[in-house]
Structure 1
């Protein structure tokens, strides 16, 4: 039963990566073009926006890879190991990096909201940084709990 659930989660991790790949291929260039039209006096901003979004995709896929590795550790009965703690630590740092990179683009969401008179756009721009920080906090809590469980396990192994 456990292998079935981890297999399901591995497939889910793969399917989580597909929409982001589609966004990188189709939506990021369009966002860059919209930014260039929005700020014609700063034409180089188009490239900065594209670089920022593509740079945020790198830690995203690295975090997905770490989640895949974590599920593999669970399959191999190595869930309570230092490898799992390191994977969670890397996921936490990836989430923080994604949040910081998307915060750099927030002023453009403000400019777009100001030009289009749509204040809700700023809140849409806050979704990804907020979700990334939630994931970072969750990974940090899991990392700490897992480290404490490993410490308790090693103490029990020493007493026997």
Structure 2
């Protein structure tokens, strides 16, 4: 295993740990306290958005680990890498759509609590996901072009 990808794999793992901890311990504690203050029909749909968005997040992390393993095996310029980037892009778009759909509920809670920073936090998640999706799309396009050039060069003797 190469040292560069080992560091990146460790970073991907460390990115996933806080989200896993949040899903297991943080969100139930937040929900328990929020239901006492806000109507349940505001809190539970927003909580559902958060839990459902964790699924594409972890799928994207697994694809990132696969992409790093392809780099380790010197198979970075392959259709598998393009497929992994496509899945990462799709996951990022899904997360962005989920949080954009939850923004009205976040707005209601922020209005009730007089906390405009909560809306900003929701927007940061939406726009960060869009940035990841655009970056993955650009990498996907570049990798596809590089694979095409490589295949042309392989045919030329």
Structure 1 segments unaligned to the other structure (5+ residues): none
CA contact (8 A) 1:106 1:125 kept: yes
Q: Does 1:7 align with 2:21?
A: no
Q: Is the 8 A contact 1:69 1:87 kept in 2?
A: yes
Aligned residue for 2:16?
17
Q: Distance in 2 between matches of 1:129 and 1:28?
A: 19
Could you list the structure 1 runs, at least 4 aligned residues long, displaced by more than 4 angstroms after superposition. none
TM-score, structure 2 as length reference = 0.92
| Secondary structure, aligned partner of 1:105 | helix
Equivalent-residue separation in structure 2 for 1:13 and 1:71 (angstroms): 10
Secondary structure of 1:136's match?
helix
> How many residues are paired up?
157
Report 1:1-160 matches (<5 A).
3-40=2-39, 43-160=40-157
> RMSD value over aligned CA atoms?
1.6
Q: For the Cα contact (< 8 Å) 1:109–1:122, is it kept in 2?
A: yes
Flag the 1:88–1:11 CA change in 2: closer, same or farther, 3 A.
Answer: same
Structure 2 unaligned spans of 5+: none
* TM-score, normalisation: structure 1: 0.91
